[in-house]
């Protein structure tokens, strides 16, 4: 099949070469639990059906969805050679405004192409964005793992937030409506993109808490810390502050209607 290049909670990733075209591909073999998740599989099948339309320079689209003889589900995607956005933020502590705005525009374009097809990412975070170089050497951001995001219905857990020792995974980039288990539309991805933008620009997230539960409660009830308070040394333009704040509004209808609209407000 090729050699293993990564392993996460939901999949094991191999790199291989397409025997017909000769191009490098990534094969993600999904965990058995994800393979049994009917909602996730329905989304993956839909994404695979729309693969041709999802072929976008800022999206790692599904090229093939299949199943092994022993029942393991796998997806074949373009192999992306680059650096994960989370690693860039970790090494540089923050990303300068100009390249950050360029990457956000790329991510927004990729999200929008999926949103137009009725596909919501649901799990946008810096670990799901790859920074790749094109033939001319310029960097572009590519959004990965659209169909692999499990739909987390959080409403029961939120009711139990007062209980001790409850672990809810990693909800740092989830919108308030996603935490509450409400129906989702593209604006949930715009909220997550606002959080990604904040972390890129400041190296920090705008909601504080000692535990995951406290951070989630802050997202449900509090307001995000403004960029200038997170990093007073960086002197962000007022328009950038305002764009990030609007993307992080608790009410979906108060956010930008589309991801490119948010990117344009940042770039302005």
| pLDDT for position 98 | 94
Domains annotated for the chain, with CATH where assigned, are: 3-78 (3.30.200.20), 82-267 (1.10.510.10)
| pLDDT for position 38 | 81
| pLDDT for position 4 | 59
* Active-site residue (options: 37, 106, 123, 145): 123
| pLDDT for position 123 | 87
Report d(CA 77, CA 253) in Å as an integer.
34
| pLDDT for position 164 | 36
| DSSP summary character for residue 145 | -
| pLDDT for position 168 | 41
Report d(CA 212, CA 172) in Å as an integer.
8
**24: part of which helix (H) or strand (E)?**
strand 24-30
| pLDDT for position 9 | 59
| pLDDT for position 115 | 94
233 part of the active site: no
Sorted by sequence, the CB contacts under 8 Å of residue 104 that are 6+ apart come out as 141, 193, 196, 197, 200, 262, 263, 266
| pLDDT for position 159 | 45
pLDDT tens for the chain, 268 residues long, are 566 555 555 778 888 888 888 888 888 888 777 778 787 788 788 878 887 788 899 998 888 888 888 888 888 888 888 999 999 999 999 999 999 999 999 999 999 999 999 889 988 999 999 999 887 888 999 999 876 654 444 444 444 443 333 334 456 788 999 888 888 899 999 999 999 999 999 999 999 888 878 888 889 998 999 999 999 999 999 999 999 999 999 999 999 999 999 999 998 8
Report d(CA 50, CA 63) in Å as an integer.
10
Euclidean distance between the first and the last CA atom of the chain, given in angstroms as a whole number = 47
* pTM score: 0.85
Give the CA-trace dihedral at 180, 117, 144, 208, to 10 degrees: -30
Q: 58: closest CA among 14, 116, 117, 105?
A: 105
Report d(CA 259, CA 192) in Å as an integer.
10
SS3 236: coil
Give the CA-trace dihedral at 252, 253, 258, 264, to 10 degrees: -100
């Amino acid at each position: 099949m090729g050699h293993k290049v990564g392993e996460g909670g939901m999949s094991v990733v191999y790199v291989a070469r397409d025997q017909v075209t000769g191009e490098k591909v990534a094969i993600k073999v999904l965990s058995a639990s994800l393979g049994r998740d009917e909602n996730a599989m329905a989304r993956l099948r839909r994404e695979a059906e729309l693969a041709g339309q999802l072929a976008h320079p800022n999206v790692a689209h599904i090229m093939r969805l299949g199943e092994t003889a022993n029942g393991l589900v796998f997806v074949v995607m373009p192999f992306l050679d680059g650096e994960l956005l989370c690693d860039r933020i970790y090494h540089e502590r923050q990303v300068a405004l100009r390249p950050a705005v360029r990457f956000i525009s790329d991510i927004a374009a990729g999200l929008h192409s999926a949103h137009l097809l009725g596909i919501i990412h649901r799990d946008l975070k810096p670990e799901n964005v790859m920074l790749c170089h094109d033939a001319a050497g310029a960097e572009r951001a590519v959004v990965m793992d659209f169909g692999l995001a499990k739909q987390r219905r959080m409403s029961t857990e939120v009711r139990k937030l007062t209980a001790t020792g409850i672990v809810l995974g990693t909800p740092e980039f989830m919108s308030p409506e996603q935490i509450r288990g409400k129906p989702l539309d593209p604006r949930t991805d715009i909220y997550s993109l606002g959080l990604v933008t904040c972390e890129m620009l400041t190296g920090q997230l705008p909601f504080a808490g000692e535990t995951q539960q406290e951070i989630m409660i802050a997202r449900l009830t509090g307001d995000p810390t403004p960029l200038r308070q997170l990093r007073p040394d960086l002197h962000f333009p007022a328009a950038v502050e305002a764009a990030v704040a609007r993307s992080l509004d608790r009410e979906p209808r108060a956010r930008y209607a589309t991801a490119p609209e948010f990117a344009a407000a940042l770039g302005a």
